[in-house]
Structure formats: C-alpha cells, structure tokens
Amino acid sequence: MTLQTITLQIPEHIYERAQQVAETTDQPLEAVFLHELENAFLPPLPEDEEAELSALSYLSDEALWTIAREQMPSPRQERMQVLMDGNTKGTLSEAEYQELEHLVEQGQKLMLRKGKAAALLTERGYKVTRESLRG
C-alpha cells in the first residue's frame, strides 16, 4: 500500500478527542486518525447489521466488556485455518469454499461487534487495552 502525506487543519475539539482515544487505547495519534478515515470511506453496512451495532449503545458496561472480550470458538478457528490452508493450496471443494466464506463472514461480524463495544467503552471513559480485553 502506497501512503500519501497531506497537511490538514483540524478543529481543536476533534484533535483533543482523537488524543483522548489514542491515550485510552494506547495507540499513536496518527493510527487513531487513520482508523477513523478508513472507517469514513467504508461501504455502508446492511441495515440489520447497522441496527445491531447501534443497539450496543444501550447495553451495560459489563455487557460491553463481555462482547469486547468475545472470541470465536476454538473449533471454528481451527476449522477456518484448515480451510484457509486448503484455499491457499487450491484444494477446496465448492462446499468447503462456501463454508470458509461463511466462517470469514462470522469472524468479520464478530470483529465489528468487538470494535463497537470497545469504542463505546472508550467513550464511557474506560481504558481499553490488550490486557483489559484478556479479562
């Protein structure tokens, strides 16, 4: 990926919010801005997925921590790895390829939920770090 450099004047309130997120999540400020820019240009989610993510804002802090710490079950992770290896080798049947696509989609949805839960916790003043996500 080729990176481009731009100079951009940012209102103070946006800069301060990004700085707060960077400190809370233990990330460089540049990573926070890049993440937000990438999110701004992603295609919109399907309505049902958007509604599910929006509903997370009504959950308790405890429920959000549970979601933020959620992991794909080990058997699914292992199966996905086997299928990914087969895909790399070009040995998957059509049914296995469909299964891989389904598992990848499940993983992506899980990551979206986890990310939204972590973002809401950060907005609520919690410091979300790798350590805090381990439970």
* Helix or strand run (H / E) with residue 45: none
Claim: this prediction has a pTM higher than 0.75: no
Tokens of residue 81, six digits: 């790895």
What torsion do the CA atoms of 32, 43, 133, 76 make, to the nearest 10 degrees? -150
Residues 6+ apart with CB under 8 A from 72: 80, 106, 107, 110
Q: Are 68 and 128 in contact (CB under 8 A)?
A: yes
Shared domain check, 129 and 82: yes
Residues 6+ apart with CB under 8 A from 50: 44
- What is the structure's pLDDT at 52? 94
Shared domain check, 124 and 70: yes
State the average pLDDT for the chain.
Answer: 91
What are 77-102's pLDDT values in tens digits?
999 999 999 999 999 999 999 999 99
Tokens of residue 102, six digits: 């389904």
Shared domain check, 52 and 38: no
- What is the structure's pLDDT at 45? 86
What are 114-132's pLDDT values in tens digits?
999 999 999 999 999 989 9
Shared domain check, 83 and 29: no
- What is the structure's pLDDT at 22? 84
- What is the structure's pLDDT at 44? 84
